[in-house]
Structure 1
Amino acid sequence: MLPWENIPVLRTQEVYRMPSIGSISAILDRSHHHQEQAGMNAAAFPLIDPLDAFYLLNPSGDLSSSQAAFEKWFRDQNIEGKAGIAPTVEELAGALKSHDLFIYIGLGSGAQYIPRHEIQKLENCAATLLMGCSSGSLSLNGQYTPQGTHLSYLSAGTPVRVANLWEVTDKDIDRFGKAMLDAWLRERSSPSVACAQCRLVPELKSMSITRGKGDAKKKIPRKKVSKACSSVVCED
């Protein structure tokens, strides 16, 4: 997948990836239905409070540097979440329904902690940051529809999903994720300042998408996913 969002002419614009025209139509229908239920005062695009968030940080226990970089920051912001331990499927599903934002920092897309079919059951879903390696990539199945965890979040009604298309080192992902969250909080406290997206351009320029120092947050192999999710049905 080509990184159209990072070409110079689009760097100061909001760009959203959608898998098909049909998916755009389905999301618009869902949005209109939600507005009808919420009443005429509901915003066409929901406001997302970055402090009304739930984080899942290093649930596999393999990324100690990421946990060290973010755990205190989350606590300082009084953000609810878990670090170093895996939640139950029910707990994670509840967090996705009851918060504005879900932040995942770990291996892959987090599908080993909540399978795709459980995400798709949700009537509403938080905005989603999947800060794992290749968390936004799709698995190609020949003539069949490509599949990916982030598409399940889209089907569940998430207003925004941010994910990585390729393998990126943990240090690069951590640096970008921290810069994005800091910029989001600055914009929340001072909405009149220049757009937060513009301030992320230097971070994007300096990121390495090839393996260097630091470990890439790779997808979990299917066998390991099965072991990690022995009590639930996991889809990769």
Structure 2
Amino acid sequence: MTTELKAEHTKFLPFNLGNQGGKGNPTCEDNYRTYYLWENVLQQDSLLDIIFKFIYIKKDDIKDSNGELLYQRKTLIFPRYHQLDVVRRIEEDVRKVSVGQNYLIQHSAGSGKTNSISWLAHRLSKMHTQDNKAIFDSVIVITDRRVLDKQLQDAVYQLEHKAGTVERIDKDSTQLAQAIQSSTRIVITTLQKFPYVLDKLARLSNKQYAIVIDEAHSS
């Protein structure tokens, strides 16, 4: 899959299902290995969903050695299959069984984890019941790496342009507590700030939260 044709400089990314933990697609006895592309991904409802809720323009500031802005690089982002699959599967399960579940997502290095987290946070924040009540009062994204935290903040901000929907916690734990209490739709914070507000969360027992933890295995 590619989003821009540039002759010999075209960059393709895999769009495979995976095969028993490896690359490629599983063998199909009565169909082509790539059947899922036209039978599932490119179906009308699926394609409209991708265009409306997944595709976005990634903007990167390119700076010189002195930190001066040279230009802004824009890249059209299209989800890879595993990103599309994991976001849709979790969303489907939440609709089916509601809140209170735990999910573990395994991502290999360099496979676009930041975008997966961003898409998932947005989908969860916009989920509503049949009577139009938000399923989650807030989606809280927690990371313990400051570099990735900046990447994640930028990715989430580029996906959502409505003012007040996303708040990055860059001051202190009081700011985090206020964002949670005011039901900001998406809150991005570091692991170091989160323990200080656990007691405050306990007093908000009538609210429901989705917690997305980056690198859950490390800390």
Q: Same fold (TM over 0.5)?
A: no
- Determine which structure has greater relative contact order: mean sequence separation of CA pairs < 8 Å that are 6+ residues apart, divided by chain length: 1
Normalised to the residue count of structure 2, the TM-score between the two structures is: 0.31
